[in-house]
Structure 1
Amino acid sequence: MKKTVTVYPVIVDRLISNPGIGFTAAPGLMNELDDVYDNRGVKQAKYKFTKDSKTYNHPDCKVFFCSARWKDVEVAKGVYRWEVLEEKLDYAKSLGCTAVVRCSPYALSEDDDIPQWFRKDYPDEPEFPFWRIDPGTTPYVEYWADFIRAFAERFDGHPVISSVDMTIVGAWGEGGGTEFLEPEQIRRITDAYLDGFKLTPLQALLHDPISIKIITDRKAKVGFRVDCLGDMGGFHGEKWSHMTDFYPQNIQNFQMGDAWKTAPVLFEACWHMNDWYLQGWDIDYIIEESLKWHISSFNNKGTIVPEPWKENIERWLKKMGYRFELRKFTYDAEAKAGGELRVEGLWANVGVAPVYNRYPLVVRLAGNDHTYTLPSTEDIRGWLPDQDILWAETFTLPAEIREGEYRLEIGIETGVKEVGNVKLAIEGYRDGYYPMGNIAVKGG
């Protein structure tokens, strides 16, 4: 019987930043700053979440929001300047972030109109407040679906993109007026996303039951995003709010309660977190509700976290998205070149959501001036929260591996050097991997 080594890694409770989850990055609060101001222009005392944080008054992040306008990318019908989006993805990568991407058809200002070549043929604008072009009397649906198909063809599976927003119509692509489209019009646009993006996760705006039903009828793996987290009565006082009325009802009414199991749930702040604080809203209630809805990422709009809420936000971040603990790891103490190596790991996901990108779990043997990487067949996207996860696998060592002693390491690779590998909630992180112990490799 083979001799084995069993390791019980030390679990850590500190903040860790990982791709695709947590707060979105706040570049305006990074690096050395003389002063920090809140969203209302009031100077605040500077603080950091951790000693080595790069960001003031805001947690460090490994996810960035990238937005691109249709008019800036499709400069003539069927002619695309994808470098507009590539440059933004490169910037996200330079920050060490993956990116949530939204291509939107237009916004409200004249500078954010539909493409000029489209406007030239259809100069009239509708009276509807969130439309710049009428999708019922123009080729908007056809043109926008064509754009989405081209977008997917170019960027599906892009290693920096953690997920893509499904935008249908309305200013900033936020869905204003979706309910006034014909179902077939909505379907043409959503099909363009669902047929085109097979690798990159998608999320739809939780806006109206018609578009969501069209998506769920496809039985597609689509999450959702909403743009007013934190609203505890800012529109209608105690009569109605997003937190107590819209979200808890419509996540269920739209049959999206289990969407988080296969695709991300993203939230954006209503106004700013500082406004919540000044209104005296209950931050713990907001946090607990979002965790119940299995939040992966929160767009804080690059503004400060009120310092009295620092500990509340730390607790939030430790649960937001995925957080992997390796509780026990067992492996063969020795193996032969060309022979088998057996490993077993007992894992727990103590976050509230899985990881949605196909990041490979790997075993590495490092030593003798050589490193050998053994990719696992395990799909960690199936590691749901609140379950014991047993990973057991047998690897075949390369026949050419040199005899000697190696350091056995494990890691979850993103494939993007600037982003780095996924961090586990255990001690021992070393250049992207976690050493488990030594293994003797003998000649085959």
Structure 2
Amino acid sequence: MPRAIVTREPTTSSARWRSAFAPGEVIQRVRPKEFAGWLPNPHRGTTTFQRFNGDPLNPGLTWSDKDGPTVFKRFAGNLTNPDYPDTTISYCRWVWAALEPEKGRFRWAMIDGALAAARARGQTLQVRLQPYASDSGLPPWFWDLGGRPDRALEHSGDDVERSRWEPDHNHASYLRHWGALIAAFGRRYDGHPLIESVDIAYAGNFGECGGNASAATSRALVERYRRSLRTTRLISMLGTHGCRYGARFPDLGWRHDCFGDMSAYGHGVVPEGLAWNSMYEDIPRGIQSGRVADTWKTAPVVFETCWTVGYWEQKGWDVDYILAQGLKWHASVFMPKSSFIPERWRDRIDAFDRRLGYRHVLRQLTLPLEAKPGSRVAFWLWLENVGVAPLYRDYALALRLRQGRTSTVLPLDLDLRTVLPGDAMLTGSFVFPRALRRGEVEVHIGIVDRRTHEPVAELAIEPRGPDRWHPLTRIDVL
């Protein structure tokens, strides 16, 4: 068991707590009330897009995939997102030309500014470096230094125009120069505590579909990301060669950028309602062909809306079906483009958000009513994850014993990364701190950083303390 950390806090007092127990009782059972509301927990839930908590939403049904933030306003103290779920994650993308306007000259100030803005707004930052966005984004110097267009497009009729701005991703120049950008980014930012994840958006328009990159090229580019970002979480793009290759690495998550697409219009070619779309074909086929059906057990699944939720409503798509599928596929993160959530769907989106990722409920904790300092205290704990995925960070579930101004934090022997949806039970014991004086000691529970023992997330139980610790009960100190 990790070494306990002792801290000093303000003194508290209470009325006698044990009067409800008969004289012969030695065991107490703690059954907290489940909390049904939103929790400001990290690494899960809805994200903002190209902006941060408190920023205005995109107008109407609009958004920009390519225009990542470059100017950062001073934070005014307002974290609310009207017509949008509360969030602890921001998601930002920048095209290559914005990041490296001249060969070897990187505009890291944009990334630094975004990280500072995220910190001020209580968010971490998901990042995508994207090669290009439609007909813009590739730096002009790329062509000057030997970049070659995708020649196959020149002979494909309607795609001749694309051949003027879409590169051949298999050419050595692309691998060399794009790979150099990823390596430089990794040298500066790998392991940064505020970077939630980085997309393996190695090729294609917006970095989404892999362009014309072959399986061999895709493997080489994925390995460039893995070598450059050894600590930071990486997220593959579902349906690409790179995602299929990355499926062998349990720490690589995946994302799909057209979640919610129910367009199935026949256009006189197939029966109405039976055309190809993302929700019935692209996502489930991608999960199957990419061999990522079980990835959620060890790495996060991320969904970005196809268009916006407002557009779904406009088209009359079945939002209940869409959201149920997202939960069935074990999503941890949802990115609806910082676009308004229709009022009549807000409750359903909020309920969906609350189940994303992990959500831990303490069902019962059994402890003795009294103990002597230095003795071993036995306990039994029942924790339920009512979310749809585990917590992927190595945080610890811990008890805090507080008496007067003295606190001792005791991490428990339970790896939260292994707590999948459902029950986790733990029988264990800990040494009752020798420094405790005769009287009472308060017992709290929390999710803490293993190194600092500071709380980092909340359980879905009441009461909720202002310091993220949940008060549970007391034990008499003999």
Structure-2-length-normalised TM-score: 0.77
Q: 1:214 maps to what in 2?
A: 245
Q: After superposition, what is the alpha-carbon deviation per residue over 1:18-67, rounded to whole angstroms, capped at 9, x for unaligned?
A: 2222221369796598x9953269xxxxxxxxxx9822111111121133
In terms of mean alpha carbon deviation, does 139-148 or 304-313 score higher? 139-148
Q: 2:175 maps to what in 1?
A: 141
Q: 1:47 maps to what in 2?
A: none
Query: Is residue 160 of structure 1 aligned with residue 194 of structure 2?
Result: yes
Report SS of the residue matched to 2:339.
Answer: coil
1:393 Cα offset (Å): 3.6
Report SS of the residue matched to 2:473.
Answer: strand
Preserved CA contact (<8 Å) 2:27 2:366: yes
Preserved CA contact (<8 Å) 1:159 1:414: no
1:215 & 1:3 partners in 2: Cα distance? Answer: 53
Change (3 A) 1:420 1:378: closer
Report SS of the residue matched to 2:364.
Answer: strand
1:358 Cα offset (Å): 1.9
1:227 Cα offset (Å): 0.7
Q: After superposition, what is the alpha-carbon deviation per residue over 1:172-209, rounded to whole angstroms, capped at 9, x for unaligned?
A: 221341xx32333211211233345454332211123x
User: Equivalent of 2:206, from 137, 150, 172?
Assistant: 172
Query: Is residue 193 of structure 1 aligned with residue 228 of structure 2?
Result: no
Q: 1:114 maps to what in 2?
A: 139
Structure with the greater alpha carbon radius of gyration: 2
1:400 Cα offset (Å): 5.6
Query: Is residue 22 of structure 1 aligned with residue 54 of structure 2?
Result: no
1:74 & 1:401 partners in 2: Cα distance? Answer: 59
Change (3 A) 1:104 1:279: same
Change (3 A) 1:414 1:164: farther
Q: After superposition, what is the alpha-carbon deviation per residue over 1:51-104, rounded to whole angstroms, capped at 9, x for unaligned?
A: x98221111111211334445555776665544323212212222122222222
1:122 Cα offset (Å): 2.8
User: Equivalent of 2:213, from 181, 184, 203?
Assistant: 181
1:371 Cα offset (Å): 2.5
2:350 & 2:260 partners in 1: Cα distance? Answer: 17
1:321 & 1:57 partners in 2: Cα distance? Answer: 22
Change (3 A) 1:398 1:199: farther
Report SS of the residue matched to 2:126.
Answer: strand
Query: Is residue 423 of structure 1 aligned with residue 436 of structure 2?
Result: no
Report SS of the residue matched to 2:133.
Answer: coil
Preserved CA contact (<8 Å) 1:354 1:384: yes
Report SS of the residue matched to 2:366.
Answer: strand
1:254 & 1:40 partners in 2: Cα distance? Answer: 31
1:283 Cα offset (Å): 0.6
Query: Is residue 376 of structure 1 aligned with residue 412 of structure 2?
Result: yes
What stretches of structure 1 of length at least 5 have no aligned partner? 42-51
User: Equivalent of 2:317, from 274, 278, 281?
Assistant: 281
Change (3 A) 1:24 1:236: farther
1:234 Cα offset (Å): 6.3
Amino acid at match of 2:28: V
Change (3 A) 1:366 1:281: same
Query: Is residue 407 of structure 1 aligned with residue 442 of structure 2?
Result: yes
1:249 Cα offset (Å): 2.4
In terms of mean alpha carbon deviation, does 279-288 or 339-348 score higher? 339-348
Change (3 A) 1:310 1:278: same
Preserved CA contact (<8 Å) 2:147 2:174: no
Q: 1:317 maps to what in 2?
A: 353
User: Equivalent of 1:231, from 238, 256, 261?
Assistant: 261
2:432 & 2:140 partners in 1: Cα distance? Answer: 55
1:413 & 1:311 partners in 2: Cα distance? Answer: 30
Change (3 A) 1:135 1:65: same
Preserved CA contact (<8 Å) 2:52 2:117: no
2:111 & 2:434 partners in 1: Cα distance? Answer: 44
Amino acid at match of 1:221: D
2:104 & 2:376 partners in 1: Cα distance? Answer: 53
RMSD between aligned residues: 3.5
Report SS of the residue matched to 2:34.
Answer: coil
Report SS of the residue matched to 1:249.
Answer: helix
Q: 1:395 maps to what in 2?
A: 430
1:310 Cα offset (Å): 1.9
User: Equivalent of 2:114, from 76, 79, 88?
Assistant: 88
Change (3 A) 1:193 1:3: farther
In terms of mean alpha carbon deviation, does 314-323 or 302-311 score higher? 314-323
Change (3 A) 1:191 1:278: same
Amino acid at match of 2:395: Y
Preserved CA contact (<8 Å) 1:194 1:220: no
Preserved CA contact (<8 Å) 2:58 2:338: no
Change (3 A) 1:305 1:366: same
What stretches of structure 2 of length at least 5 have no aligned partner? 1-23, 64-77, 154-161, 268-272
1:234 & 1:86 partners in 2: Cα distance? Answer: 42
Structure-1-length-normalised TM-score: 0.83
Change (3 A) 1:200 1:413: farther
> Would you say how many aligned residue pairs link Structure 1 and Structure 2?
423
Q: After superposition, what is the alpha-carbon deviation per residue over 1:332-382, rounded to whole angstroms, capped at 9, x for unaligned?
A: 444555554444320111111111122232222233223222233422011
